[in-house]
Structure 1
Amino acid sequence: MAPEQHEQERLSFALEQSISASYIGISATLVLALAAALGTGAVAAAAWAVLMVSILVLRGWVLRRAVTRLGEPGGPAQANKDFTLSTVVLAFTIGSLPAIAFPGMTLELRMVVTVFLCLWCCAAMASLGLTPRLFTVYLLLVLGGLAVGWARTEMPGARYTAVAMVLYMVVLRAFSHNFTRRIVEGMAIRAENDALVRQLSAANEAKTRFIMAASHDLRQPLHAISYLGGVLARARDPADVRSANEALTAAVEGLNKLFSAILDLSRIDSGAVRMHPVSFKLDGLVAQLDSEYRTLCVASGRRWECQVEAATALTDPVLLERVLRNLLDNAMKHGGDGMVRLAVERRGDEVVITVSDNGPGIPLESRSRVFDEFYRGNETGPPGLGLGLSIVRRLVDRLGCRVVIDFTDAQTQSGAAISVHIPQGSALLEEATPALPGHGSADEEDVSGLAVLVIDDDATVLHATRALLVQWGCRVATCGRGDVLDEVVAGLGPLDVAVVDYRLDGGRNGLDLVEGVRDRHPGMGVVMVTGESDPQVLDQLAESGLPVLEKPVSPRDLRRTLALFKAADA
Structure 2
Amino acid sequence: RTHYRQLPAVIVAPALGGIFTAWVLWRAVDTHYLLIGLAGVLSISVLRIGLYKWYQAEDADASLHPRWRFFAIATATVSGVIWGSAAIFLYPPLLPEYEVYMLVLLALIPVAPVAALAVYMPAFYAYYIPCIAPFIIMLGLQDNRAERMTALLLIMMMGATLTFANKYSAMLAEAIRLRLKLADKKEALEQSITVKTRFLAAASHDLRQPVHAMGLFIESLASSVRDIDSRRLLSQVTESVVTLRRMLDAMLDVSRLDAEVVETQRRSFRLNTLLIKLHHEYISLAEQKGLRFDCVDSRVVVNSDPVLLERILRNLLTNAIRYTRQGGIVLGCRRRGECVQVWVCDTGVGIPVSRQEEIFHEFTQLQNAERNPGYGLGLGLSIVKRLADLLKHKIQVRSREGTGSTFSIELPCSAERPQEMNLPAEEYPAACPEHRNLLILIIDDDKSIRLGMTALLESWKFKATSSATGHHALKKIRERGCVPDLVIIDYRLSQGETAPDVIARLKAELDDQIPFIIVTGDTAPDRIREAHYAGYLLLHKPVDPDRLKVCINALLDPAARVVAP
Scaled by the length of structure 2, the TM-score of the pair is 0.60
Q: Give 1:65-84 correspondences, 5 Å limit.
A: none
Inter-CA distance 280–161: structure 2 relative to 1 (3 Å threshold): farther
- Residue 406 of structure 1 aligns with an amino acid whose one-letter code is R
Q: 2:467 aligns with which of 479, 482, 485?
A: 479
The equivalent of 1:401 in structure 2 is 393
- Rounded to whole Å, the distance in 2 between the matches of 1:276 and 1:184 is 49
- Rounded to whole Å, the distance in 2 between the matches of 1:210 and 1:541 is 17
The equivalent of 2:455 in structure 1 is 467
Q: CA contact under 8 A between 1:477 and 1:492: conserved in structure 2?
A: no
Consecutive unaligned residues in structure 2, runs of 5 or more: 1-105, 120-127, 561-565
Q: Give 1:213-292 correspondences, 5 Å limit.
A: 241-292=230-281
The equivalent of 2:286 in structure 1 is 297
Q: What is the Cα deviation at residue 569 of structure 1?
A: 8.2
Query: Is 1:527–2:514 an aligned residue pair?
Result: no
Inter-CA distance 189–420: structure 2 relative to 1 (3 Å threshold): farther
The equivalent of 2:306 in structure 1 is 317
- Rounded to whole Å, the distance in 1 between the matches of 2:384 and 2:530 is 27
Q: What is the Cα deviation at residue 291 of structure 1?
A: 2.8
- Residue 468 of structure 2 aligns with an amino acid whose one-letter code is G
3-state SS, counterpart of residue 296 of structure 2: strand
Q: 2:296 aligns with which of 307, 328, 335?
A: 307
- Rounded to whole Å, the distance in 1 between the matches of 2:500 and 2:280 is 40
3-state SS, counterpart of residue 370 of structure 1: helix
The equivalent of 2:427 in structure 1 is 439
- Rounded to whole Å, the distance in 2 between the matches of 1:295 and 1:548 is 32
Q: CA contact under 8 A between 1:321 and 1:434: conserved in structure 2?
A: no
Q: CA contact under 8 A between 1:272 and 1:533: conserved in structure 2?
A: no
Q: CA contact under 8 A between 1:531 and 1:550: conserved in structure 2?
A: yes
Q: Give 1:144-543 correspondences, 5 Å limit.
A: 150=139, 153-154=142-143, 187=175, 190-191=178-179, 194=182, 197=185, 201=189, 204=192, 241-298=230-287, 301-379=290-368, 383-407=375-399, 414-422=403-411, 424-428=412-416, 433=421, 435-442=423-430, 444-446=431-433, 448-449=435-436, 450-490=438-478, 491=480, 493-519=482-508, 520-533=510-523, 538=528, 541-543=531-533
- Rounded to whole Å, the distance in 2 between the matches of 1:539 and 1:497 is 24
Q: CA contact under 8 A between 2:429 and 2:546: conserved in structure 1?
A: yes
Structure with the greater relative contact order (CA < 8 A, sep ≥ 6): 1 or 2? Answer: 2
- Rounded to whole Å, the distance in 1 between the matches of 2:177 and 2:390 is 28
Q: What is the Cα deviation at residue 548 of structure 1?
A: 1.2
- Residue 446 of structure 1 aligns with an amino acid whose one-letter code is P
Q: What is the Cα deviation at residue 462 of structure 1?
A: 0.7
Q: Select between 202-211 and 471-480 the one with higher mean Cα deviation.
A: 202-211
Tell me how many residue pairs correspond in the alignment. 416
Deviations 1:81-138 (CA, angstroms, capped at 9, x unpaired):
xxxxxxxxxxxxxxxxxxxxxxxxxxxxxxxxxxxx99xx8799589989xxxxxxxx
3-state SS, counterpart of residue 242 of structure 2: helix
- Rounded to whole Å, the distance in 2 between the matches of 1:183 and 1:192 is 14
- Residue 537 of structure 2 aligns with an amino acid whose one-letter code is P
3-state SS, counterpart of residue 326 of structure 1: helix
RMSD: 5.1
3-state SS, counterpart of residue 568 of structure 1: coil
Q: What is the Cα deviation at residue 280 of structure 1?
A: 4.3
Q: What is the Cα deviation at residue 534 of structure 1?
A: 5.5
The equivalent of 1:90 in structure 2 is none
Q: What is the Cα deviation at residue 513 of structure 1?
A: 1.0
The equivalent of 2:536 in structure 1 is 546
Inter-CA distance 529–189: structure 2 relative to 1 (3 Å threshold): farther
Q: Percent identity?
A: 27
- Rounded to whole Å, the distance in 2 between the matches of 1:163 and 1:319 is 75
Q: CA contact under 8 A between 2:198 and 2:524: conserved in structure 1?
A: no
Q: CA contact under 8 A between 1:272 and 1:534: conserved in structure 2?
A: no
Q: What is the Cα deviation at residue 501 of structure 1?
A: 1.2
Q: What is the Cα deviation at residue 210 of structure 1?
A: 12
3-state SS, counterpart of residue 360 of structure 2: coil
Q: Select between 202-211 and 463-472 the one with higher mean Cα deviation.
A: 202-211
Q: 1:555 aligns with which of 507, 527, 545?
A: 545
Q: What is the Cα deviation at residue 468 of structure 1?
A: 0.9
Inter-CA distance 196–309: structure 2 relative to 1 (3 Å threshold): farther
Q: CA contact under 8 A between 2:324 and 2:348: conserved in structure 1?
A: yes
Q: What is the Cα deviation at residue 340 of structure 1?
A: 1.7
Q: What is the Cα deviation at residue 432 of structure 1?
A: 7.9
Inter-CA distance 129–312: structure 2 relative to 1 (3 Å threshold): farther
Inter-CA distance 453–215: structure 2 relative to 1 (3 Å threshold): closer
Scaled by the length of structure 1, the TM-score of the pair is 0.59
- Rounded to whole Å, the distance in 1 between the matches of 2:196 and 2:297 is 42
Q: What is the Cα deviation at residue 456 of structure 1?
A: 1.0
Q: What is the Cα deviation at residue 194 of structure 1?
A: 2.5
3-state SS, counterpart of residue 441 of structure 1: coil
- Rounded to whole Å, the distance in 2 between the matches of 1:129 and 1:346 is 59
Inter-CA distance 372–483: structure 2 relative to 1 (3 Å threshold): same
